[in-house]
Structure 1
Amino acid sequence: MSTTPPPQARIDGPRPATTERTSDDGAFGWLRALGPRGRRAFAGAFGGYALDSYDYFTLPLSMVALSAYFGLNSGQTGLLTTVTLVVSAVGGALAGVLADRVGRVKALMLTVITYAVFTVACGFAPNYETLLVFRALQGLGFGGEWAVGAILVAEYASAKNRGRTLGAIQSSWAVGWGLAVIVYTLVFSVAGDDLAWRIMFWTGALPALLVIWLRRSVHDAPEAAAARERSAERGSFTAIFKPGLLRITLFAGLLSTGVQGGYYTLATWVPTYLKSERDLSVVGTGGYLTFLISGAFIGYLTGGYLTDKLGRRRNIWLFALLSALCILAYANIPSGANTLLLVLGFPLGFCMSAIFSGFGSYLSELYPTAVRGTGQGFTYNAGRAVGAVFPTTVGFLADSWGVGGALVFGAIGYGIAALALLGLPETRGKELA
């Protein structure tokens, strides 16, 4: 199949030269080449996504304590994750439209405020039903942050280094995840479970500090903002479903479904698997997750480099296969072989994260400037919502299959992602307006 992008994928012309561009040679040349404004945008998107990750992981890490406090079964705890991911599709789609209509930075601030407020609210929930509602509302901000931040930085980055630049942004997810594990280990070690899960949610107020800095220091890329303003169809849902972009939208949504179905199956259930089926303590679970998260961080950076070298499609294909194999191996490690479980956590985290590294650049390149936020926000988050079926399925099957046995559904998700690539073009080297 030809990998030449169709005409609609080349709507944006060559990037005008700017005085902020500098040499992109060397290990960190991609960062220098962003220029002062681009580096501030990078810092804002990096911080926003790291704190987005932190707020998300307050739930999976607290799930065992929550289950005991409210007397929940596996299906009910799985529903907490599902409702977050389903509502995040709405939040992501709305944030994408806002990004095209009012600008990337304003939309980014709104998403950060939303997920921070409702994460804190979860800590005050008096019952399961209220927690479910607050977690759903947290999903509105959670869904939009990544897409908006990725577009903001993509429009500053050069075509040559866009993959590794967005891969570095993606690595902030592992930073937030690691911070959440550190706080979890400390909080659950010094406070009783009935209070500790509430404290975890209350610490979700941290992103409010980032918003103040974003408002003062970060701006949209001038060329992209000008191109967006010139378009009559900016922020239009109908535009991404017109014949020129319909195929892109459908297959990009399917790709997101597969990758996120696999990822959130693991992100949601591995902490429970380690604690309930492997009988690890709080400190022990944190230690095992450290290996997983370390692999994830390096995987994001490596995947960003490879997506520039191999191309967007080849990078995703490679790590879809490796992620599926790692899940099957991880879930079938014999009882008592916990050292092997510890070691395998590193390649598992590496592969399931490296596949994400190309997403920011790939989805940005698939859409023209006027509907880039709408297209990326919709496809990424529609995939997240449909992919939410996977962790829920694991939750309902966990009582009969065991959590480890049910993790096989994550591997199925990566198979779906590989098939979706058959309908999408290669976009490596494309310039954005």
Structure 2
Amino acid sequence: MSTSPPPPDKASSTAPDSVSSTDPQSTRSTRKDPPTGAGAGDGDNRERPFAWFHALGQDGRRAFFGAYGGYGLDSYDFYVLPLSLAAIGTYFGLDNGQTGLLATVTLLVSAVGGAVAGVFADRVGRVRALVWTVSVYAVFTVACGFASDFGTLLVFRALQGLGFGGEWAVGAVLVAEYASARHRGRTLGWIQSAWAVGWGLAVISYTVVYQLVDDDLAWRILFFTGALPALLVLYVRRSVKDAPVAAARLKSGGRQRSLGSGFAEIFRGRLLRTTLLAGLLSTGVQGGYYTLATWIPKYLSEERGLSVTGVGGFLVVQIVGAFSGYVTGAHLADRLGRRRTIQIFAVLSALCVLSYSRVPGDWDEISLLLGFPLGFCMSAIFSSFGSFLAELYPTEVRGTGQGFTYNTGRAVGAAFPTLVGFLSDSWGVGGALGFAAAGYALAYVSLLGLPETRGIELR
């Protein structure tokens, strides 16, 4: 395989200098040509199933399981709130704007948690940062179940956001540094699929708990189940270690970097453009996603008049679509490239949102069927994120760059659920959901200024 740079795509002339770094001897990333032509395609077809997983090696597979479990439980702990919004709103006497604020504050504070965790991961290692983030979101998810009033719940949910924001960025960087350039899109895309698994577990718990217990107590019990990640912490501490590229950098003096230097570096030179555009990309995608994640359960229960089991059934279809989308997007990220995959699903997600939110009230069967493509597209767009953001930054600021851009997108995109909450008073929840399409349009435009990174080796 050639080690010379491949021909740039339409946007590669604007690429940030992510393939060079302040320490070219130890942290340079090099681009290799991705396989092309008939022969390459045949080679891909001859790969044994899950070749990307076997290629990680023993240490890489342990890191994969740690990151997969962390992200799945991250999803579980996030979804106990949207699933309980109706019950919490009734219990505390909240309007739609206040219930939307509960979701928004989680995402806003997650930006701080993600940025800090990214710097922490660059200074003391990916594994230690992963343990910290999982522990934080587990503790404060449980604390939410003890909230005696709306203000206390808001504070606990905000603190939960600190760990929630950091886990994905740290776990994605940890696994990205174990994965080869050939398989990185698939490997990180499969990490994303853990979100659908956690979501599914949350829906199952929601359905069971709300069937057995009165709503006033059920939402508290659902938060108490957020203690499950404590078991994962034990596994990560005992079995997972940093990839050689990160471990070597720490030994060479990476720990001495100040907290502020990492942030400053991602806003210097060519990385400034990368950081701004990647932040806009993340804002658009996550603004659209969290609008739907926050409000669809309430839309189904209130505007479509579904019972708890009915909402659960509709969400199962959407979750199956989501898991399929993550896996499909993971393979497309390596075949079509990161940018093109995200662009395709940005367009499809916007179309699905507009269609889903405009189904007539008595067409429940159509709404049920549309849940699959909606879940598929709004999830497949995330499959490229782990590899794309990791490849945009050099090793010494990879955690910082990925943590900051991904979670800043969460924070700015967090305005979407609250805005939809206020708009729903006059537009209805279904009408307001269409606002999510604007987020996907923003994501598409931001990609025009970012380079394709498929084929970059992280060294």
- 1:221-232 alignment runs, 5 A limit: 221-230=243-252
Deviation at 1:3, TM superposition (A): 2.5
Q: Which residue of 2 aligns with 1:61?
A: 83
Deviation at 1:6, TM superposition (A): 3.6
Deviation at 1:225, TM superposition (A): 2.0
**What is the identity, as a one-letter code, of the residue corresponding to 1:218?**
V
Scaled by the length of structure 1, the TM-score of the pair is: 0.96
- 1:15-26 alignment runs, 5 A limit: 25-26=47-48
Q: 1:72 and 2:94 equivalent?
A: yes
Q: Which residue of 2 aligns with 1:382?
A: 408
Question: CA separation in 2, counterparts of 1:121 and 1:370?
Answer: 35
Question: CA separation in 2, counterparts of 1:352 and 1:167?
Answer: 13
Q: 1:256 and 2:282 equivalent?
A: yes
**What is the identity, as a one-letter code, of the residue corresponding to 2:313?**
G
Deviation at 1:231, TM superposition (A): 6.3
Match for residue 223 of structure 2 among 201, 205, 210: 201
Instruction: Kindly indicate whether the alpha-carbon contact (under 8 Å) linking 2:173 and 2:398 is maintained by their aligned counterparts in 1.
Output: yes
Q: Which residue of 2 aligns with 1:18?
A: none
Match for residue 19 of structure 2 among 10, 17, 21: 10
Instruction: Kindly indicate whether the alpha-carbon contact (under 8 Å) linking 1:166 and 1:304 is maintained by their aligned counterparts in 2.
Output: yes
Percent identity over paired residues: 68
Deviation at 1:14, TM superposition (A): 5.3
Question: CA separation in 2, counterparts of 1:230 and 1:270?
Answer: 49
**What is the identity, as a one-letter code, of the residue corresponding to 2:395?**
T
Structure 1 residues 423, 234: CA separation in 2 closer, same or farther (over 3 Å shift)?
Answer: farther
Deviation at 1:230, TM superposition (A): 3.5
- 1:100-249 alignment runs, 5 A limit: 100-230=122-252, 236-249=262-275
The CA deviation string for residues 112-135 of structure 1, in whole angstroms up to 9 with x for no partner, is 000000000000000000000000
**What is the identity, as a one-letter code, of the residue corresponding to 2:213?**
A
Structure 1 residues 370, 228: CA separation in 2 closer, same or farther (over 3 Å shift)?
Answer: farther
Instruction: Kindly indicate whether the alpha-carbon contact (under 8 Å) linking 2:322 and 2:372 is maintained by their aligned counterparts in 1.
Output: yes
The CA deviation string for residues 409-430 of structure 1, in whole angstroms up to 9 with x for no partner, is 1100000000100111110000
Larger deviation, residues 230-239 vs 299-308: 230-239
Match for residue 35 of structure 1 among 57, 61, 72: 57
TM superposition outliers: structure 1 runs of 4+ over 4 Å? 231-235
**What is the identity, as a one-letter code, of the residue corresponding to 1:28?**
F
Instruction: Kindly indicate whether the alpha-carbon contact (under 8 Å) linking 2:321 and 2:375 is maintained by their aligned counterparts in 1.
Output: yes
Question: CA separation in 1, counterparts of 2:419 and 2:435?
Answer: 8
The CA deviation string for residues 377-408 of structure 1, in whole angstroms up to 9 with x for no partner, is 00000010000011110001111110000001
**What is the identity, as a one-letter code, of the residue corresponding to 1:348?**
L
**What is the identity, as a one-letter code, of the residue corresponding to 1:10?**
V
Deviation at 1:243, TM superposition (A): 1.2
Deviation at 1:13, TM superposition (A): 4.0
Q: Which runs of 5+ in 2 are unaligned?
A: 1-9, 21-27, 32-43
Question: CA separation in 2, counterparts of 1:103 and 1:358?
Answer: 23
Instruction: Kindly indicate whether the alpha-carbon contact (under 8 Å) linking 2:60 and 2:178 is maintained by their aligned counterparts in 1.
Output: yes
Scaled by the length of structure 2, the TM-score of the pair is: 0.91
Instruction: Kindly indicate whether the alpha-carbon contact (under 8 Å) linking 1:228 and 1:369 is maintained by their aligned counterparts in 2.
Output: no
Q: Which residue of 1 aligns with 2:24?
A: none
Instruction: Kindly indicate whether the alpha-carbon contact (under 8 Å) linking 1:231 and 1:370 is maintained by their aligned counterparts in 2.
Output: no
Q: 1:284 and 2:310 equivalent?
A: yes
The count of residues paired between Structure 1 and Structure 2 equals: 426
Structure 1 residues 153, 146: CA separation in 2 closer, same or farther (over 3 Å shift)?
Answer: same
Instruction: Kindly indicate whether the alpha-carbon contact (under 8 Å) linking 1:5 and 1:427 is maintained by their aligned counterparts in 2.
Output: no
**What is the identity, as a one-letter code, of the residue corresponding to 2:422?**
F
Q: Which runs of 5+ in 1 are unaligned?
A: 16-22
Deviation at 1:280, TM superposition (A): 0.3
Instruction: Kindly indicate whether the alpha-carbon contact (under 8 Å) linking 1:100 and 1:234 is maintained by their aligned counterparts in 2.
Output: no
Q: Which residue of 1 aligns with 2:326?
A: 300
**What is the identity, as a one-letter code, of the residue corresponding to 1:137?**
L
